[in-house]
Amino acid sequence: MANTFHWLDVQRIAEELADAHPGVKPYAVTFVDLRLMVEALGGFEPQPEHPVNERILEEIQRLWHEEAEDLHESDDGD
């Protein structure tokens, strides 16, 4: 993986959030808080030509939810 990522790297962001916030329920996070959480991730560098919008945040939230479920299932299967 590249060292840095930005708003269009939604899958990478979801994976990073799942790793950084394992106990958080993605759909309980407001978009304002989600944006702050993403911006706080190590390696995140926004690009002016790709600003964040509601569609991007929705997709990050959806993918994060899927990633969190996958991590939970793999923990149960150990």
Instruction: Specify the amino acid at residue 76.
Output: D
pLDDT for position 47: 94
pLDDT (tens digit per residue) in 16-65:
999 999 999 999 999 999 999 999 999 999 999 999 999 999 999 999 99
CATH number at residue 53: 1.10.10.600
Q: Judge whether residue 3 has pLDDT over 60.
A: yes
| Single pTM value for the model | 0.89
In terms of residue numbers, what domain contains 41?
Answer: 10-76
Residue 75's pLDDT is what? 67
DSSP-derived secondary structure letter, 39: H
3 state DSSP class of 5: strand
54: in domain: yes
Q: At residue 66, does pLDDT exceed 60?
A: yes
Count of structural domains, the chain: 1
Question: Can you say how many angstroms the Cα of residue 9 is from the centroid of all Cα atoms in its chain?
Answer: 9
